[in-house]
Copies of this chain bind each other. A is one copy, B any other.
Amino acid sequence: MITQENQDKIFLKQAIALAVENVKTKQGGPFGAIIVKDNQVIATGTNIVTQSNDPSAHAEISAIRNACKKLNTFHLEDCTLYSSCEPCPMCLGAIYWAHIKRLIFAADKTQAAEAGFDDSFIYKEIELPYNKRKIDTLHCHEMEGNAPFEAWIASENKITY
């Protein structure tokens, strides 16, 4: 009988292999991800930022988009995401929004940083007050920022997510 631990390792190996292949075939950065449901691979994704001109097209988000398209849903409740590397804050956010159940990764953010993929600065930026961040940030609280939420609350038969 294959244990969950061994099953996890098999899928994680596939995610790592996808990442290596992505580099060797010049498709993009060294990252790969796989989404699994009921021990079946639903979708895969690799980093395709440069080929698709999409800075959000990291491996995890690509895999989430592919899995959602395949399952015709915007939630992946019973799915596991296997990633060759620890997700950056953008991808971790997407993983939460997609309601993914389990997250398994191999390399961590320190290894990614050593290879030139330093997302630790984003983790640090998130914790800073707006005026201390590297990006010039302005919170215009005097604007009608609540209007969209008021429209949303008043809206009937809306699709929540």
Contacts and interface: CB of A to CB of B under 8 A. Distances in A.
Interface of A: 8-9, 12-13, 16, 19-20, 22-24, 26, 28-32, 49-50, 53-56, 61, 64-65, 68-69, 72-76, 84-86, 88-108, 111-112, 114-117, 119, 121-123, 125-127, 135-141, 143-149, 151-153, 155, 157-161
Contacts of A12: 140, 143
Given A54-B65, A136-B103, A159-B50, A90 B85 contact: no
Copies per assembly: 2
Contact of A90 (B68, B93, B143): B93
A147 B153 CA distance: 49
Given A107-B145, A108-B145, A29 B152 contact: yes
Contact of A24 (B75, B115, B155): B155
Given A108-B141, A116-B160, 17 more contacts: A16-B147, A23-B155, A26-B158, A30-B151, A49-B97, A50-B74, A54-B64, A55-B99, A56-B61, A56-B97, A90-B92, A96-B122, A103-B137, A104-B140, A106-B140, A106-B141, A115-B153
